Structure 1
Amino acid sequence: MEARQLGGSGPAVSRFAFGAMTFGGDTDEAAAHEMLDAYADAGGTLIDTADNYGNGTSERVVGRWLNSRPGVRERVLLATKGRFGYPGASLTPAYPRRAIDASLARLGVDQVDLYQLHGPDDEHRVDEIVEFLAEIVGAGKARHVGVSNFPGWQVAKLARLLAERGGPPLVSQRIQYNLLARAVEWEVVPAGVDAGLGTLLYGPPAQGWLTGKYRRDRRPPAGTRVAQAGEQTSEAWHRRDTDEVWSVIDALREVARAHGVTPGQAALAWVADRPGVTAPIVGARTVAQLRESLAAAALHLDGEAIARLTEVSAPPTPNYPYQMIERIAGWHG
């Protein structure tokens, strides 16, 4: 699988990362290990989990897989996240200190390759976390550090503070990004690129909407993620059953047919080659779903297809300040 560097100072990672969020929930341990085998056999190198996935079960499942596959730890990069797994969750240094130690114990390792702060904290400034990030890298608990779901200004500030205080560089940000969720292009992706971060993105199939399984004017089949989605979730049928969304899906189906691939594979290829993106995180509930995604690891859409999908999925420009920025950024005397 194609390799890309994670940010300006991170390790080389495969074009597709693997997400273990379903472990301990929709995916039992036997299927999880089969998925991990399939991912590693396909040349994948970055496995992403978190302390709150399955209440810690995901980390345990990944840890047991590593322990049962001699030599595999040297071939894969292990990433986990902390912020939401325990009572008292916050970004005060005391909380993530406890969280990373618990994650290492569940994973059965002394060090992870990437430790990510799983989300911001409106009660505690990012200034407070700089010492913790330096501490875990200095102690050998993490090789690299990153963030997930942070606003652009906090990414920029945290990267600057780490540089000013001699801490480890941020190497990555992990965000949701796909043909139906492109608002991160306004501030979050540019902030990360400017700070030298790589971008890991989750949700490339938009919770199943971009796989082609759903049809206009036809309710989602029972048992699918969208059918089970709560009314407040972004993937809920009443939120995305719109002409704008179906226009994207229709164009995606046509592009996929022209390339001889599935809509989900075409959606993966489009987002994998977006500016600033290092690797989409592919996840699945079944081995068959994962193998279908991995089959797109070498897929690059042609320029016409990229332009069409980019145009049809472009979100409307929010009012101030973005509409004004669009107008004045091109003014030159």
Structure 2
Amino acid sequence: MYRLPRCLVSLFTLSFALVATGIAAGPAAAEGPARIVDVRPLGGRQFEVVVHSGAMDKPVTLWLSHPGSGAPALYLLNAVDGGEDGGPWMRRTDVAEFFADRPVNVIVPMGGRASYYTDWIADDPVLGRNKWETFLTRELPPLLDARFGMTGRNAVAGLSMSATSALNLAIHAPGLYQAVGAYSGCPRTSDPAARAIVYSQLALFGANATNMWGDPGHPAWLEHDPMLHLDRLRGTALYLSSGNGAPGPHEVLNSRGIDGDPLRLADRVLVGGTMESIVSNCTGPLAAALAARQIPATVHFHPGTHAWAYWQDDLHRSWPVFAGALGV
């Protein structure tokens, strides 16, 4: 029986609101400072790394593609499910193959569903404690740099929900990232319509956005609106992209993620198309605002829907931007 896709439920909710080579260590302790607790080889240059976050007091699992010491890092953030439901970057794209011979560490944190990869002002009854910004910008990089001989030069990219996260991480940790990619994101959070989108996304997972950034009048909503802090991105290499919602080259039966299923194709065209048309109305003003401030950005608008096939394309297209900024 065909199950109603989560993205379809998300769209209905949104419309109602508006209209994730070393020696393995032992198991993680229950508390204490951030530290690497396990490194598990997966074959070739791939590893599973478990890091205890002191800020969140829990282990976080990472997928790592490690070329050897002396390489920079690219952090890839998962979508709103944190890579838990539909799968992370490694299952949805060719990220392992694409970076198999490239001189960069690729890190995919697992988890963080509906968290916006930010520091929440309060624990959530459903999601628990979210201090992802602290983990990603302060706890994790020095641990990976020391253990795997990384250079300290970093890029970060996100898609859909985490596109906003990638921009905010760079804004709040100046100098940490030399490049940022935002694929199919809606980087507004402070106006009523944007807040409604955020509330609806988190509600799908039973979470309350008030625990993230407070009541609608709380200043945290303004602080986490990239549109209000674009000058803090000056000097960072930027790549932005979105589809226009119209069927594109990946709206065909043999496309990855559709796999010959006509119902999946219909879902992508109708639901993914509508979602991406909303995203386009966010990305366009972002690109225009950067241009007005003379902040350089590589921008790619294309036909297509809200789908992983396009985010794989975005990753390929944005790699030269990241590589130039990372010095590889």
> What TM-score bracket applies, with the shorter chain setting the length?
0.3 to 0.5
* Greater Cα radius of gyration, structure 1 or 2: 1
Structure with the bigger percentage of helix: 1
TM-score for both structures, normalised by structure 2? 0.33
Higher relative contact order (CA 8 A, sep 6+): 1
